[in-house]
Structure formats: structure tokens, C-alpha cells
Structure 1
Amino acid sequence: MLHDLAVRRDRDEWIVGRMATRTFVALPRAGARAVELLGEGRDVARTAAILRDETGEEFEVTDFVRDLAALGFVARIGDRPVAGGGPARASLPWLRPRQARFALHPALPVLVAALLTAAVVVLIRRPDLLPEYRDLLWSPHGSLVLVTGAAAGWTLLLAHELGHLVTARAAGVPGRMRLGTRLQFLVMQTDISGIELAPRRHRLTAYLAGIALNLSVASALLLVLALTDTGTTTHRLLSAAVLLALLPLPFQLMVFTRTDLYFVLQDLTGCRNLYGDGLAYARYVVRRTLRGPRPGGATGDGDPSTRLPPHERRAVRLYSVVLVVGTVACLTFMAAVTLPVDVTLLVRAARGLGPEHGLAKNADSAAVLVTLGGVNVLWVVTRWRGRRSRRSAGSD
């Protein structure tokens, strides 16, 4: 007997998964049919006989059931329960799908579009409201700018991820928020595994919910900004807030770091694992370039993309170029700009501590060390925990 499984057809395959453990797999038509028959309570022999009658081919249903058991899809075999993974931990478990249903209402994208349109109209009429980097320096005290910027930035980041979580929960997907790393970036990410089984509109809404929230916040703040007097503290703070809401959006274009737009791209191209397949193909090309083709090898010898359907193969090969170029550019920028700036600021802050400096100087230096140093330490800890988790999962 199988656990409660969800099934959705996707092109020439069927996505089958167990929402409780957020485990999913793509199966051909015969595999999906076997899951259907087994789920109806038929035994292995009867399932094999029905498949043989329907297709004229023999299927190793026993091996197939073993694979399903390894995925945690089998509840019991005969009267013997099968050990499987327990329910995955979810963030905000008290939030029910019916309470989050508003996030998938068709009127919500219209409201977001109307808010964004109003903000654009205001900007056209008053281009002086367009924020610039100087707006972030709203106070002459650097520590105050840094601390408030960090607080506002993390608040907006949490709201961004809550947008993903609430939308996914409305589609019946548990979802879990946690810290993660993308190259040199410390990020908060929401695992919404299971959204693959939802209709396309729900999937794309869940992927784009965070971007929509940032744009909505920035638009609303801009409309309020237009009502304030220029030069006041309120005006300066609102300008900084607008810019902080917009700053994460260019990062979303970095699809080589698996941003929100990466998942949109993966869905629209019909790829199962665009990043993993793109990385495998990029490694293959590098190895082949360094050592040359194997003697007597065929054109596709060792090429992992040849196992993919044609539409996936083209997308994966193009994405691999973006992956390599983007990753190299990011790491180069980190080595040439970000790292030297961080080290310089931390060294200056450390030198600014001591009894020979005034209270304001010590407070300013301490704020820089806590804020900037804390982010870097958090990145190292998060990176280490992520690697340890992946090693543990690989050893299970």
C-alpha cells in the first residue's frame, strides 16, 4: 500500500510526490500507471499483469516498488509497515491553506499592477523622487545608517520570503524558511518543494511572490514619499526605504545563483533540474577541453546532456554558459571589490576602538564590527552547516 501521493502530468512525464516529506520524482506514463494501480491496492503480480495487458510489455514491478520504498512512498507491504521519512518540518505550521487563500486570488496581481502603475505615473510626473545611492546616507552618522539599513534590509528580506511561504501554503505546500548561501551572498531562502504539483499559475505566483512584494512595498512608499516635504527627515527616510526595497531586485537577474527568476526560467523551459544539469554539462565541457576527446569516442561521449529530452538539452547548454560566466564574474568582483572593502572597514573599525577615542567614535566602530562582522560570521556558519547537511544526506 502506498502513502497518499499527488500526481500531475507535465509534458510527456508525470510528477509524482509525497507532500508530507516533500519528495518528488518524474516518471514515464507506465510508471505513473503503476503508481495508480498500486495506490488502488493491487499487489505486484496483478499490477504487472495489467501493465502487460495494456502495453504488451513486461515490467519489473518488484524493482519499481523497491525504488518507491526508497523514496518513502510505500506505507506497507502486506501487513508489514515500511519505515519511511517523517513529515518535513515547516515554518509557521499554524498557518493553514484556507487562511492563506487570498495569496492566490486572481485579483491580487491586478492590485499589484495597479499599485506599480500608480508609482510609475508619479515618477514620470516627478522624476526628482527617483531614489539614488545618496538617499541611503540619510544621516551623517555612519553607524546609524548601517544599523538602520541592516534592520530594514533584513525586515524586507523576511517579508520577501514570507511572500513565497504564504503563497505556497495557499497551494497546499508546507514550505520552510532558512538561511543559506549563494556564492558570496548570505540569503534567506524558502523551500517550497511540492509546488511542482500545483497548476502553472500557482507555481509562477509562488516563485514571483517575493518580487511582487518588493515592488509593492517600493511603490507604496513612493506614493507616500510624494506627499512629504523635500528635505525633511521623513522624506530622507522614505527615500532610503524605497531604495532598500528595490535593491534586491537586480540580484534576481543572477539566475546562476538560483534566484526566484531561476525557478521561473526552469519552469518555463520544462527542465527538471536546470542548475544541476547545467553544472554537470559545464564540468563536462571543461574536462573535455582540457584533455581533448577520448580516442574513438563518439560525439556525445560522456556528455550528460545527451540523456535529456531535446527541449531540456538546449536550455541546459545555454544555461551552462550563463552559469559559468556569471559565477566567474561574481567571484572576481568579490575578490577585487567586496573583500577588500569589507577588510578595510573592519580594520578601521577595530582601530577606532579604545579609550583614546571618544564615545561617539567607539560606538560607531562597535556598530560596524557587529553589523558587518556579524554578517560575515553568519555567512561562514551557514555555509559550514549547509555543507555538513549535504554530507550527512549523502551518507544516509
Structure 2
Amino acid sequence: MTGTAAENDGPRIEPSTRVELHELAVRRDRDEWIVGRAATRTFVALPAAGARAVELLGQGRSVAATERELRAETGEEFGIAEFVGDLTALGFVARIGERPVPEAEPPRASLPRLRPHHVRWSLHPALPVLVLLLLASAVAVLIRRPELVPHYRDLLWSPHGSLVLVGGAAAGWVLLLAHELAHLVTARATGVPGRMRLGTRLQFLVMQTDISGIELAPRRHRLTAYLSGIALNLTVASCLVLALAVTDTGSTAHRLLAAALLLALLPLPFQCLLFTRTDLYFVLQDLTGCRDLYGDGLAHARYVFRRTVRWPRPARTADPSLRLPPHERRAVRLYSTVLVTGTAACLAFMAAVTLPADLVLLVRAARGLGPEHGLAGNADAVAVLVVLGGINVLWLVTWLRNRRARGSGT
């Protein structure tokens, strides 16, 4: 992330100018330093000299004094006035000289009354051990009693399709909210506000939690925040397996528990779709040390496409991945292949399978309305139209809303 110069009508930055910085967090990451402001979820990767300049400015040094100090330490010249302008654009500067810097209201956090000290327990090292113990116990039960291994028929817990559809949708959304709440809780424990909202990933309607600013936390806390949703699903699934082991096979409770188990496990394969920026994508991005694996991978894929097909025009610029450090370049080029292949396969599956199936179900439901179909038939038809049609409408509304937000820069 890079800043832009200060506005022309802002305070002039002279050699004698001193600035007051907001509270900033600093963390070393390989050969760079991550500097950011948790309140606005804004961060930037700086070289060592940039981090040192932030430190000197934060100590009250003037622009000229900071330049002299850096020149004495590194033997190089730096444009600190322009650097202050960049920091101002990022929202890191509270005051330039005697003039306060106006700033936009920070993004609203979800569950603002939830404070870091309320959820500090979520970062305790014993918690992953407990999750693994529960998972190991559930696996042991499934090995001893293979009849408890989930099957797609478990979702059909009732002969009434409307009950299956509505019940599955309700349970699925509850689990989805719990999954995202796990991300929010662990991020909040590190001091990152976090915000939950609806989003889209290709043809998928998803609930997502923006935990921008987690990059400033230690690695263990970052990985905990990224993996907490998957850990919650596995914990719920493990508890359901243990509950299944002590309930009577064929009972209503057993059927409901089996359906809930499958619903808890169904989102996990989706996490492997790294090209849709799932939880595992952020783990991969962190472990490879990439700043924007998706954005850089997409830029490289576009460059290769233009160079290969020479449409709409030949690629006249250099490969954008060449500006990256070697370790990032290798990861970005490999990920770009996964991105293109996975996206193409996902969209092809939607066109060949998902979309036709949805249309058939919606048409059948529409034809199933009317007095000649009886109360049960009409209830089933209405359930399909409300649940399936509602999800597709919600996807479209969410996609349009997010597209407008990106266009307006919000």
C-alpha cells in the first residue's frame, strides 16, 4: 500500500515543520517493516529507512532534522516532505505544525461493545490443543463406528422437502454467522475492530469479516484469526459426532444431529478454493510473505494473457511480478496459474450444473403453485421460491452494492 501526496490546499510542509502522528503499530517482516494504524485498519510496508523516518518524526523531529539524521545513518538523501504527504494521505498524521489534519470517520466495527479484554481468552495457546483433542476424539469414534460417517442422505432428515430446505438454510446461516464471529472475536482480541458483512466470491454468496490491521499482530495471532472459523466448524462437527455416538440410531434427535454434522462440514471444502480468497488463502499469503497475493497474481495473469493472445493490444509493459522480491515473485506466478485455472473451472461448473439445476428447481416450484396442488405442494413450492430465489436475489443485490462501493472508493 502506498500513499499519495498531500492535498494542495493542505498545510505547507516546510523543512522546519514538525508533525504529530496518530498511535501507530510497527512490526518487522523479513526485510521490511509493517507500519499501521489499528483504528482505521490502514497499514503500509516500508523499508528500514521509512520505518526509521516514522520513528524520528514521531519523536518530534522536524522534516529537516529527520533528513539530516537519515543522511548521517545511511549516506542517502530522502524527501521527507513528500514522505510526510504520503503519511498524511494514509491517515497516519494527526497534526502538521499547529494545524490538525481532518480525517474521515473510521469504518464502523461490528459488535463495538465487544472489547479486546472480553475475548482475550480466544488467543490462549491451550485453545488449539482443546480443538485438536476434540477432533481426535471424533475421528476415533468414526473409526470405531463407521456408520456415523456423514452421508448426503443425512440432509434428507424429513420427508417434507420444505422442512429440509428451510431447516438446512436456517442451520447453515447460523453456522456461517458463528464461523465469521470466530474471526471477529480473535481479531478483536488483538485490538483489530473487524467488520462482518455479506460479500460474493464468483457465484458464491458469502459472509465475510474484514479484519484489516491484523497484519500488525504477531504471526501466531494472525494465523489464529485466519484459522479460527475453520477451527469453529471442526469443533462443532466434533461435538456433534460425540453426541451422535450416544443417541439412538433412527431417532429424530439422531437424524437432526447427523444433518447438522454434514452442514458443519460442508463449508470446509470451499476453503480449499484459494482463488476465491478463502481463509486458507490468507494463511498462504501470510506464510509466503506476499503483500497482495490475489492482486499481484491477477496482474501477472493479465500480463501473460495480453502477451499470449495480443488482444486487445500486445503487452507493452514489463511483467508486473518483476518488481516483487524473488520469494514473492515465485509465489505470485504459481498462484496466478491456480487463480486462472480455478476460476475457469468454477465458472464452467456453474454454467453446466449449478445454474441449470437452480432454473429447473425454480420453474418446477412456480408450476407447483395453485389450488390443485394442495397445501403441502404449495408449501414446498413457496419454500423453494423463497429460499433458492431469495439467495440468488441476495447475491445479485450484494454484488451490485459491493461494486458500487468499490467504484466510489468506500
Instruction: Give the shorter-chain TM-score range.
Output: over 0.9
Could you tell me how far 1:378 is from its partner in structure 2?
A: 0.3
Match of 1:365 among 368, 377, 381: 381
Match of 1:76 among 95, 99, 113: 95
The residue aligned with 2:409 is 393
Answer with 354-363 or 67-76: which moved more. Answer: 354-363
The answer to whether the 8 Å contact 1:349/1:366 transfers is: yes
The answer to whether the 8 Å contact 1:104/1:167 transfers is: yes
Could you tell me how far 1:84 is from its partner in structure 2?
A: 1.9
The residue aligned with 1:211 is 230
The residue aligned with 1:327 is 343
Could you tell me how far 1:295 is from its partner in structure 2?
A: 9.9
User: Is 1:123 equivalent to 2:142 in the alignment?
Assistant: yes
Could you tell me how far 1:381 is from its partner in structure 2?
A: 0.3
* Cα deviation code 1:186-240 (max 9, x no counterpart): 0000001111011100000000000000000000001000101111111111111
The answer to whether the 8 Å contact 1:228/1:235 transfers is: yes
What SS is found at the alignment partner of 2:372?
A: coil
Contiguous gaps of at least 5 residues in structure 2? 1-19
Aligned residue-pair number: 390
Match of 1:271 among 287, 290, 296: 290
CA distance in 1, matches of 2:165, 2:314: 59
Match of 1:65 among 62, 75, 84: 84
Match of 1:162 among 181, 201, 207: 181
RMSD: 1.4
What SS is found at the alignment partner of 1:286?
A: helix
What SS is found at the alignment partner of 1:357?
A: helix
User: Is 1:17 equivalent to 2:66 in the alignment?
Assistant: no
What SS is found at the alignment partner of 1:356?
A: helix
CA distance in 1, matches of 2:31, 2:222: 19
CA distance in 2, matches of 1:4, 1:270: 25
The answer to whether the 8 Å contact 1:21/1:85 transfers is: no
CA distance in 1, matches of 2:314, 2:220: 49
Match of 1:109 among 103, 111, 128: 128
> Identity over the aligned pairs, expressed in percent?
78
Could you tell me how far 1:138 is from its partner in structure 2?
A: 0.7
The residue aligned with 1:230 is 249
The residue aligned with 2:16 is none
Q: Is the alpha carbon distance of 1:80 and 1:201 closer, same or farther for their aligned partners in structure 2, counting shifts above 3 Å?
A: same
CA distance in 2, matches of 1:63, 1:164: 37
* Cα deviation code 1:28-51 (max 9, x no counterpart): 011000001111111111111111
Answer with 36-45 or 311-320: which moved more. Answer: 36-45
The answer to whether the 8 Å contact 2:274/2:281 transfers is: yes
Could you tell me how far 1:86 is from its partner in structure 2?
A: 2.4
Could you tell me how far 1:56 is from its partner in structure 2?
A: 1.1
Amino acid paired to 1:329: A
CA distance in 2, matches of 1:130, 1:296: 52
Q: Is the alpha carbon distance of 1:296 and 1:254 closer, same or farther for their aligned partners in structure 2, counting shifts above 3 Å?
A: closer
The residue aligned with 2:107 is 88
Amino acid paired to 1:40: Q
CA distance in 2, matches of 1:86, 1:203: 26
CA distance in 1, matches of 2:398, 2:90: 27
